[in-house]
Amino acid sequence: MHSSSPVSTYKLLGFLAGPVLFLVLSTLLNIEGLEPKAPQVLGLAAWMVIWWIIEAVPLPVTALLPLVVFPVLDVFSMEEATVPYANPVIFLFMGGFIIALAMEKQNLHKRIALNIIRLTGTSANGIILGFMLSTAFLSMWISNTATAVMMLPIAVSVIDLLRDKQHEQSEGYRRFALGLMLSIAYAANIGGTTTIIGTPPNVVFVGYIKQFYDRDIEFGRWLFVGIPVCFTLLFTTYMLITRVLFPHNLKKLSGSDTLIRDKLQELGTMRLAEKLVAGVFLCTAICWIFKSQFNDLMGHAYLNDTAIAMAGGILMFVIPVHLRTQEYVLDWESTKRLPWGILLLFGGGICLARGMDSTGVVALVGKSLAGGGQMSLWLVVLLLTAFSLFITEIMSNVALTVVFVPIVLGIADNLGVNPLYLAIPVTLAASCAFMMPVSTPPNAVVFSSGYIKIADMVKAGFFLNLISIVVLVVVALTIVRWVYG
């Protein structure tokens, strides 16, 4: 009883601090060079950030504030305020969510994971590698959280095998269990960065680039950045966990191949519904990757990422499994599990950013943080990336990118550099929170298994954070410049 009171007091203070700060800034703030409505926009930004950080109310509820506040204060008309909540990027993500729901409902994701694990062998390190690869691959397409939740019971079964073999008391057993659990959480976070629909911060970033620069970040082109980042971080994480921090010295795990085979047998042969989901998923991915080539063939830009995603999502509802019984691949009942709140969160973030941009706030902040253009580009990238990565340990990565990316774009404009050089590493860094159980849902999921001590996660996460910063800065100054130069 006593332990909950500090939390509720803390939340209550934050709950009150948000609107109070909004009123203070709205009435007292006066900054030269800004539009008259800028103090109200900044006040609302402060209110939203406070509520997002302490989660005084659910995150999506906070994201609805601009919809009410901006029209009342005459920052935007109601029509202008509602437009960001129907941004094409939101529907891109919604289509991705629906495809993911169909994969989960028909157990296709489980079949993919088990087959990848089976291919990587039954040595202890081979099993960790298999779990990492399958987790990362699934996280490119479905929610990082859902992937971690799905992989956890399979991993626990493998760890139980070791316990049955009387390894339980050994330090090797403890380190293997710890390494396997950490590798699932980290691979889920890393895998999501590979595609523009893999993790919410990427979607926020794509929306801002379209809004501020009317520039499309194409699904296929992003892979040239996402895949090198993903594989570099996965390889580094694997080596760090299995060779440096938690080497377990276990060899082949007898019985693990039987366990994986049994789990696959439980799934049985691929049913028609599962094959249909696989077909739609494959077609959607191919259209995303080769969209430009298809459009060139047709002589017109018929295909775009949002249309492809929504077409894939709609197909899940209209392709019949049994026409006579009116059974389809996916039913509307399943959409109860679609994370509608995340879609509102994007809308609120884009609306707030539009308000900050239209009142000159983004440009002014960019000018002041750019420091007169004295710093070299690599140092600016390094500082912004490090800030993003360590702040995301304590703040929702979606909320962070919603607030921070427009500021980064303002800095880029004032330095006269391509905004993608700064915004891409900052966005990717928001998904690289490895130190704390509360940093990302996958971290929390595996921490709940009981195999991880918080000190172990902090130790592994700290080293991975430093490595991630280096990797992201190098990628920003090389691959990003090559792909988007």
Higher pLDDT, 393 or 233: 233
- Quick one: pLDDT band at residue 168, thresholds 50, 70, 90? low
pLDDT of residue 1: 34
Question: Is residue 254 scored above 70 in pLDDT?
Answer: no
Tokens found for residue 338: 């679609």
pLDDT of residue 162: 65
pLDDT of residue 2: 38
**Residue 335: how many CB atoms within 10 A of its CB?**
15
- Which residues, 6+ apart, have CB-to-CB distance to 87 below 8 Å? 207, 210, 211, 346, 347, 350
Question: Is residue 5 scored above 70 in pLDDT?
Answer: no
Question: Is residue 403 scored above 90 in pLDDT?
Answer: no
pLDDT of residue 371: 60
pLDDT of residue 362: 67
SS (H, E, C) 10-43: HHHHHHHHHHHHHHHHHHHCCCCCCCCCHHHHHH
pLDDT of residue 13: 86
Q: Measure the CA angle with vertex 478, ends 473 and 480; round to 5°.
A: 85
pLDDT of residue 4: 43
How buried is residue 273: exposed, middle or buried, by Cβ count under 10 Å (0-12/13-18/19+)?
buried
Question: Is residue 121 scored above 70 in pLDDT?
Answer: no
- Which residues, 6+ apart, have CB-to-CB distance to 148 below 8 Å? 135, 184, 185, 188, 441, 442, 445, 446
How buried is residue 375: exposed, middle or buried, by Cβ count under 10 Å (0-12/13-18/19+)?
middle
Tens of pLDDT, residue by residue over 456-470, are 888 899 999 999 999
Mean pLDDT of 92-96: 80
**Residue 231: how many CB atoms within 10 A of its CB?**
14
- Quick one: pLDDT band at residue 395, thresholds 50, 70, 90? low
Check if the beta carbon of residue 441 is closer than 8 Å to that of residue 144.
yes
Question: Is residue 3 scored above 60 in pLDDT?
Answer: no
Residue 371: DSSP 8-state? G
> What pTM was computed for the model?
0.74
Check if the beta carbon of residue 88 is closer than 8 Å to that of residue 346.
no
